[in-house]
């Protein structure tokens, strides 16, 4: 079994009386997609926020490789190799695809707006941004305004933004949301290839995509991991069927 690229142990997070994350331990290994699924309000976004660094856990540790990153902020984690895409799109419609990817990378690096270099002059980002677009099969759209892209292509741009800093691990929060069958199939194919280079922790409600993509699945219910295993094991787990999948 390959070594964990990203791992968390004993994570707890409480909001007042609500235990949003309860003793969650899981890891992400090289070459895999590990999907995190669960009903609405199960605590998936709360968990991702703790991993990405925007929310501090009450207890527990998060490691990127051997390094304890629990106390580090979002930008430090991004610079150390934790990439993420967001549930809500933040692309600038009138700007080209390439400029959006460069701006996205700057933002992830933690540049404050006051000290922003105009992105068009930041040559250091140009080549990595172009390469990230190539990895998402979008280089031919580099000069196209985001406004002219399909919904699926926008999702590809969002993943490309997260790839510019060459992450060691990637957090993807509902990348299939709002995609039709064609867009979803296309992104599924791209992620299947991408995982060989960057392991992916995937939060996703589209169960077809999850069962096709995930090497391992963890099921979160009311803040706790109630089941963990490969697709076949999760499909037949009676606790998961009761709590989430139904018949």
Ligand X SMILES: Nc1ncnc2c1ncn2[C@@H]1O[C@H](COP(=O)(O)OP(=O)(O)OP(=O)(O)O)[C@@H](O)[C@H]1O
In the complex, minimum distance from the CB of residue 218 to ligand X, in angstroms, rounded to a whole number? 12
Q: By the 8 A CB rule, do 10 and 60 touch?
A: yes
Cβ-based nearer residue to ligand X, 103 or 220: 220
Tell me: does residue 10 bind ligand X (CB under 6 A): no
Q: By the 8 A CB rule, do 63 and 4 touch?
A: yes
Q: How many residues bind ligand X (CB under 6 A)?
A: 11
Tell me: does residue 43 bind ligand X (CB under 6 A): yes
If you count DSSP H runs as helices and E runs as strands, how many of each does the chain have, helices first? 9, 10
Nearest to 168 by CA among 108, 84, 85, 81: 81
Tell me: does residue 84 bind ligand X (CB under 6 A): no
Cβ-based nearer residue to ligand X, 20 or 213: 20
In the complex, minimum distance from the CB of residue 48 to ligand X, in angstroms, rounded to a whole number? 8
Nearest to 149 by CA among 210, 198, 94, 109: 94
> ∠ at Cα 189 (183, 195), nearest 5°?
125
In the complex, minimum distance from the CB of residue 4 to ligand X, in angstroms, rounded to a whole number? 23
* Burial track 179-201 (b if 16+ CB lie within 10 A, e otherwise): beeebbebbbebbeebbeebbbb
Binding residue for ligand X, selected from 4, 37, 46, 200, defined by CB under 6 A: 46
Nearest to 8 by CA among 32, 34, 41: 34
Tell me: does residue 66 bind ligand X (CB under 6 A): no
Cβ-based nearer residue to ligand X, 136 or 179: 179
In a 10 Å sphere around its CB, with 0-12 CB exposed, 13-18 middle and 19+ buried, how is residue 97 labelled? buried
Cβ-based nearer residue to ligand X, 46 or 106: 46
Binding residue for ligand X, selected from 4, 5, 8, 20, defined by CB under 6 A: 20
Binding residue for ligand X, selected from 45, 96, 150, 231, defined by CB under 6 A: 45
Binding residue for ligand X, selected from 3, 10, 18, 56, defined by CB under 6 A: 18
Judged by the rule CB under 6 A, the positions of this chain that interact with ligand X are: 15, 18, 20, 38, 40-46
């Amino acid at each position: 079994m390959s070594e964990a690229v990203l791992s968390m142990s004993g994570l707890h997070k409480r909001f007042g009386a609500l235990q949003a994350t309860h003793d969650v331990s899981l890891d992400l290994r090289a070459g895999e997609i590990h999907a995190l699924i669960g009903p609405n309000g199960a605590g998936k976004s709360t968990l991702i926020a703790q991993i990405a660094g925007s929310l501090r856990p009450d207890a527990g540790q998060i490691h990127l490789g051997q390094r304890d990153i629990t106390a580090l902020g979002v930008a430090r984690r991004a610079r150390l190799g934790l990439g993420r895409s967001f549930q809500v799109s933040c692309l600038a419609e009138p700007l080209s695809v390439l400029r959006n990817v460069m701006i996205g990378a700057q933002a992830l690096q933690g540049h404050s707006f006051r000290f922003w270099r105009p992105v068009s002059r930041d040559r250091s980002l140009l080549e990595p941004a172009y390469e990230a677009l190539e990895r998402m099969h979008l280089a031919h759209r580099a000069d196209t305004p985001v406004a002219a892209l399909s919904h699926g292509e926008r999702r590809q741009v969002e993943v490309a933004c997260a790839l510019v800093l060459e992450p060691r691990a990637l957090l993807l929060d509902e990348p299939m949301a709002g995609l039709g069958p064609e867009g979803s199939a296309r992104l599924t194919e791209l992620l299947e290839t991408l995982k060989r280079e960057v392991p992916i922790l995937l939060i996703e409600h589209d169960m077809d995509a999850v069962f096709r993509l995930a090497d391992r699945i963890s099921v979160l219910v009311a803040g706790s991991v109630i089941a963990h295993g490969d697709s076949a094991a999760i499909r037949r787990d009676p606790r998961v069927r009761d709590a989430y999948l139904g018949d």
